[in-house]
Amino acid sequence: MSKLTLRAAISKGLEEALSSDENVFLLGEDIGEYGGAYAVTKGLLDKFGEKRVRDMPIAESVIAGTAIGSSMVGLRPIVEIMTINFTLLAMDQIVNHGAKIRHMSNGQLSAPFILRTVTGGGGGLAATHSQSLEGWYANVPGLIVVTPSNPYDALGLLRSCLESRDPVIYVEHCLLYSEIAEVPEEYYTVPVGKSVVCREGKDVTIVTYSAMVRVCLEAADELSKYGIEAEVIDLRSLRPLDTETSAKSLMKTGRAVVVEENWKTGGFGAEISSSLHENAFDFIESPIIRIAAEEVPIPYSRNLESNVIPDSSKVVNKIKAMFEI
C-alpha cells in the first residue's frame, strides 16, 4: 500500500491509460505546460508529448465535440473541463450527441470518452464557479456519472470508466484533491454503480456522495457521543445508481438522511429519497430527511458560503432533532 492524494491517484490513472493504450489522449484547457487548473496533468506533457496531451482553446463545445468525434472513430479521449459550470457551454454536444449516438445508431457507433470536471463550492469562487450540477447529467440515459470521494475510489473508478462504451462524466470535487488515503500498489478496479458502506451503524442511515462523505463521517463521529450510531453510505456513482445498498441499510436502521451539496429543489437527493421509499417503505420509522444547500446562488464571501453549504454541524443537528435530542 502507498499513500496518495486524490490528485495523485487520478494522475496515476491518466498516466497508466496513456502508457497502456496508444489510442488514449488528453485534451482540455491548460492541461499541457500549465499542468491543469488543479495540477492533475502536471508532467504528462513532458512524458507523452503534444500529440497525446493537447491544449485546447477556450471553447468547451469544441472540446466536447472533438472528444465525441474522435471517440466515434476508435480513439479514447479523456477530456478535462475546468469546472462543471463550464460544461454548460458543451451541454448540447454531451447530452444530444455523445450520450445518444450509440443508441440512435443501433450500436454501430459509440462515443467512449471520459469527461473529467470539477464540482462543488467551498473554494470562494463565487456563484458561477461553485455549483454542483452532476445531478443534471445523471438524469440523461446514455451517460455514466461517477463521483469519487477518496483516492482509492478515484483511481479504481477511473480504471473502470476506461472500459465503458458510453461517455463518462467523471466528477471531482474541488476540496478533495489533497485528501490522502492508502492505495494498493497492485492493480485493482472499483465497479461503477456500486455504493459502499463507509461507516457501519444501527440507528440511522446517511446516504451521500463526493465531498459530503467527509462531512457526514465527521457528523457520524459526533453523533456517537450522543449514543446515535449512524451508517454512512457513499454512492460513488449517480448513474447507474445503486439503490440496493442504501435500501438494505434503511431496512436495518429504520431511519434515513440524504445529504447533498446541491440545492434541494430539483436536487438529486429527491431521487435517492424516492428510491428509498420505493424499496424500503415498510421499514421506515420516520420521514426521510433531505439536507442540501440553501436556495441561493453560492456567495463569494467565505463566511456566507460556509453558511450555504451543508456542514457536519447541520447534519448532526438535523439527526439529533430526528431522535428528539
Name the residues annotated as catalytic: 60, 129
Burial, 321: exposed, middle or buried (Cβ in 10 Å; 0-12, 13-18, 19+)?
exposed
Question: Strands, DSSP E only, in 18-94?
Answer: 24-28, 53-55, 76-81
In whole angstroms, what is the distance from residue 69 CA to residue 187 CA?
30
Q: What are phi and psi of 247, to 5 degrees?
A: -65, -40
Half-sphere exposure of 4 (CA within 13 A, CB side): 21
Grid cell at residue 87: 460544461
Q: What are phi and psi of 216, to 5 degrees?
A: -70, -35
The answer to whether 240 touches 141, Cβ cutoff 8 Å, is: no
The answer to whether 205 touches 250, Cβ cutoff 8 Å, is: yes
Q: Which helix (H) or strand (E) is 221 found in, with range?
A: helix 212-223
The answer to whether 288 touches 269, Cβ cutoff 8 Å, is: no
